[in-house]
């Protein structure tokens, strides 16, 4: 039974006797009623006409006799609330259980995907995909820098402006922002901004967003080299007088975009490794098709569309012409394109659209592989950059069990052997063919190629001589080493005899 030390506070108790409610106040004799509800006298001890009631904290009468029905409205409301709370708790518990299962499943799927990715990477050396900066399968667009580009406006000196028009321009002395300003100047100088009614801010933003990867060779500086050489050839060959401004806009824009998002591994690797690009483009110029796709994905953004004010029909033709030029940079098509140009060059007609298109394809090819036209101190570092990229690819091909081209194998190629064949059989024949149409390029472009060929042939002769002499030097070294040992033995023998 309870006592004054009970944890339950005294309660006011009422007895319903024969329909009359009587209050039983707490007092020492009534400590019995200070116990919790339903710990009172058992039902068998109650008078059948007596109902035991108590007052709840809100002042309502509540029956505390489990054998008696509760006829108080408050009692009914409490039961309803209890039922509702119980039901809601059950629903919440079920929901939490379901959500918990979902979380578990999601985490399990994430772990499975991670294991699968790691397994594929370890098995295939990571060559299942050749990662590209732009992915066209997920429907996402590149996010351009929408603010006004913050690279400073450089005021080019007259000396720089003149140098930009020549193949001797040294591209190694310029920072990224300076090269952007030079490209911007070229578009203004050629009258392209006015011709296409370009917003100058849009031109700036487009140039900023035509980003290249940080490859040893196929990077933004290479893009600038090709674009600057195109600008130089336009001036050197007086193309402003022979071609339309639209043609020059196509040439310059194709040069800027021709290697966008290049991954550093050529088409041969893409096809042999069955990369995502090779699969997407069915092994047909996968890189060049990718460069085109990225170029027009960027141009499709209003913030970067330098052709936004061009008539839609005219833009369609410009787009097709740019695609044609970028696809022409695939060296697998070199022979086909050069042969086509050779057939036209002797009777070239600048009013013939087919002739002009072929010329533009040859021009972008010349600019793309024109490093050896430049002075030796400018050209030779590019050879080192190219070989570094070649070796990076051949090392990967070896690790993946793919065929390796001899001219990319670090164990077989040297700088002279890499350049001589390329200059003799690719560069000189192509530039000499262009020279038939534009004789003025011989001194400033063709002759440097011949000089470069002679330079590397001399280096090769030195390398060959060293290769022949090396075994002789090795034998001489061994002989000297043996003589030295014999002399030492003789000295030791003499000393020993003297000692004895």
| Residue 475 in domain | no
Q: What is the mean pLDDT of residues 306-316?
A: 97
- Same domain? For 46 and 178 the reply is no
Percent of the chain with pLDDT over 70: 67
Instruction: Confirm whether 476 is domain-assigned.
Output: no
C-alpha span between 274 and 279 (Å, rounded):
6
Total tally of structural domains belonging to the chain: 2
Contact of 226 with 367, CB cutoff 8 Å: yes
388 and 367 Cβ atoms separated by less than 8 Å: no
Q: Looking at residue 397, what is its pLDDT? A: 97
* Domain of 50, in residue numbers: 12-63
- Is residue 354 in some structural domain? yes
- Pairing between strand 50-55 and 20-24? unpaired
The verdict on 346 and 232 lying in the same domain is yes
Residue 278: predicted pLDDT? 98
Decide which of 44, 63, 82 is a domain's last residue. Answer: 63
**CB contact at 8 A, 435 and 441:** yes
Q: Name the band, by pLDDT with cuts 50, 70 and 90, for residue 105.
A: low
Partners of 24 in the β-ladder? 13
pLDDT digits (tens, 9 = 90+) for 426-480: 999 999 999 999 999 999 999 999 999 999 999 999 988 888 777 777 776 776 6
Q: Which of 347, 381, 415 is the last residue of a domain?
A: 381
Q: Which of 60-64, 95-99, 245-249 has the highest mean pLDDT?
A: 245-249
> Does the residue 226 lie in any domain?
yes
Q: Which of 374, 362, 370 is nearest to 438 (CA)?
A: 362
Question: What residues contact residue 441 under an 8 Å CB cut-off, 6+ apart?
Answer: 233, 236, 237, 431, 434, 435
Examine the domain organization and report whether 326 and 209 are in the same domain. yes
C-alpha dihedral over 424, 430, 431, 434, to 10 degrees?
Answer: 160
Tokens 């967003």 -> residue: 209
The string of pLDDT tens digits covering residues 261-301 is 999 999 999 999 999 999 999 999 999 999 999 999 999 99
Pick the catalytic residue: 46, 176, 218, 334? 218
Respond yes or no: is residue 218 known to be catalytic.
yes
Lowest mean pLDDT among 16-25, 60-69, 398-407, 468-477: 60-69
Per-residue pLDDT of 163-195, as tens digits, reads 999 999 999 999 999 999 999 999 999 999 999
* Same-domain pairing of 185 and 57: no
pLDDT in tens, 357-374: 999 999 999 999 999 999
Q: Is residue 231 part of a domain?
A: yes
Could you tell me what percent of the chain has a pLDDT over 90?
Answer: 61
Give the residue numbers of the binding site for Zn(2+).
222, 258-259, 368
Query: Is the residue at 449 inside a domain?
Result: no
Strand order across the beta sheet in which 13-17 lies? 20-24, 13-17, 50-55, 61-63
d(CA 182, CA 95): 63
Name the average pLDDT for the chain: 81
Determine, yes or no, domain membership for 220. yes
pLDDT tens-digit series, residues 129-139: 455 555 544 44
How does residue 86 score in pLDDT terms, banded at 50, 70 and 90? confident
**C-alpha distance across the termini of the chain, in Å:** 123
Q: Assess whether 236 and 366 both reside in one domain.
A: yes
Mean pLDDT calculated for residue range 132-161: 62
pLDDT at 378 over 50: yes
Q: Is residue 295 part of a domain?
A: yes
Neighbours of 244 (CB within 10 A): 12
Look at residue 264 in the predicted model and tell me its pLDDT.
97
**Is 50 exceeded by the pLDDT of residue 37?**
no
Residue 282: what pLDDT?
Answer: 98
Residue 63 has pLDDT above 70, yes or no: no
Helix orientation angle between 353-368 and 220-236, rounded to the nearest 10 degrees: 130
- In this prediction, residue 414 carries a pLDDT of 92
171 with 44, same domain: the answer is no
If one compares 56 and 226, the residue with the highest pLDDT of the two is 226
Q: Are 260 and 219 in contact (CB under 8 A)?
A: no
Mean pLDDT of 204-227: 96
pLDDT reading at 227 higher than 70: yes
What is 96-129 written as a DSSP string?
HHHHHHHHHHHHHHHHHHHHHHHHHHHHHTT-S-
* Residue 475 C-alpha from the chain's centroid: 54
Give the residue ranges of the annotated binding site: 218-222, 258-259, 368, 419
Which pLDDT band holds residue 91 (cuts at 50, 70, 90)? confident
Binding-site residues for AMP, in ranges, read 218-222, 259, 368, 419
> What CATH number is associated with residue 184?
1.10.1300.10
Predicted pLDDT at 497: 47
Residues 226 and 342 in one domain: yes
The tokens describing 357, both together, are: 């298109």
Confidence of residue 70 (pLDDT cuts 50, 70, 90): very low
């Amino acid at each position: 039974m309870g006592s004054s030390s009970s944890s339950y506070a005294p309660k006011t108790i009422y007895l319903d006797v024969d329909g009359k409610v009587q209050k039983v106040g707490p007092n020492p004799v009534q400590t019995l009623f200070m116990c919790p509800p339903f710990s009172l006298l058992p039902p068998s001890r109650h008078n059948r006409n007596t109902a035991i009631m108590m007052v709840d904290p809100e002042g309502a009468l509540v029956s505390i006799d489990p054998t008696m029905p509760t006829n108080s409205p408050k009692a009914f409301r409490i039961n309803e609330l209890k039922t509702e709370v119980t039901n809601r708790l059950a629903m919440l518990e079920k929901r939490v259980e379901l959500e918990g299962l979902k979380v578990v499943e999601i985490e399990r799927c994430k772990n499975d995907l991670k294991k699968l990715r790691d397994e594929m990477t370890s098995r295939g050396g990571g060559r299942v995909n050749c990662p590209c900066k732009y992915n066209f399968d997920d429907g996402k667009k590149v996010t351009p820098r929408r603010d006004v580009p913050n690279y400073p406006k450089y005021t080019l000196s007259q000396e720089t402006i003149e140098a930009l028009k020549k193949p001797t321009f040294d591209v190694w002395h310029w920072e990224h922002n300076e090269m952007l300003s030079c490209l911007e100047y070229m578009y203004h100088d050629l009258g392209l901004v006015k011709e296409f009614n370009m917003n100058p801010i849009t031109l700036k933003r487009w140039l900023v967003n035509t980003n290249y990867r940080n490859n040893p060779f196929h990077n933004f500086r290479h893009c600038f080299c090709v674009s600057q050489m195109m600008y130089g050839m336009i001036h050197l060959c007086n193309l402003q007088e022979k071609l339309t401004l639209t043609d020059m806009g196509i040439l310059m824009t194709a040069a800027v975009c021709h290697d966008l998002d290049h991954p550093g591994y050529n088409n041969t690797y893409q096809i042999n490794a069955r990369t995502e690009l090779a699969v997407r483009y069915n092994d047909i110029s996968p890189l060049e098709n990718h460069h085109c796709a990225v170029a027009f994905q960027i141009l499709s953004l209003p913030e970067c569309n330098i052709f936004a004010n061009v008539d839609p029909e005219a833009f369609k033709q410009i787009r097709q012409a740019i695609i044609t030029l970028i696809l022409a940079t695939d060296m697998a098509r070199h022979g086909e394109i050069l042969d086509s140009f050779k057939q036209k060059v002797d009777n070239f007609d600048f009013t013939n659209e087919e002739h002009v298109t072929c010329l533009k394809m040859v021009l972008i090819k010349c600019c793309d592989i024109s490093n050896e036209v430049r002075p030796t101190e400018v050209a030779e570092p590019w050879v080192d950059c190219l070989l570094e990229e070649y070796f990076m690819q051949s090392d990967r091909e070896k690790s993946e069990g793919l065929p390796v081209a001899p001219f990319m194998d670090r164990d077989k190629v040297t700088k002279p052997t890499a350049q001589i064949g390329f200059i003799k059989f690719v560069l000189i024949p192509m530039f000499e063919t262009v020279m038939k149409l534009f004789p003025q390029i011989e001194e400033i472009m063709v002759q440097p190629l011949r000089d470069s060929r002679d330079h590397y042939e001399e280096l090769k002769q030195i390398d060959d001589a060293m290769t022949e002499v090396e075994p002789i030097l090795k034998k001489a070294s061994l002989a000297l080493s043996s003589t030295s040992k014999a002399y030492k033995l003789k000295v030791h023998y003499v000393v020993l005899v003297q000692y004895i």
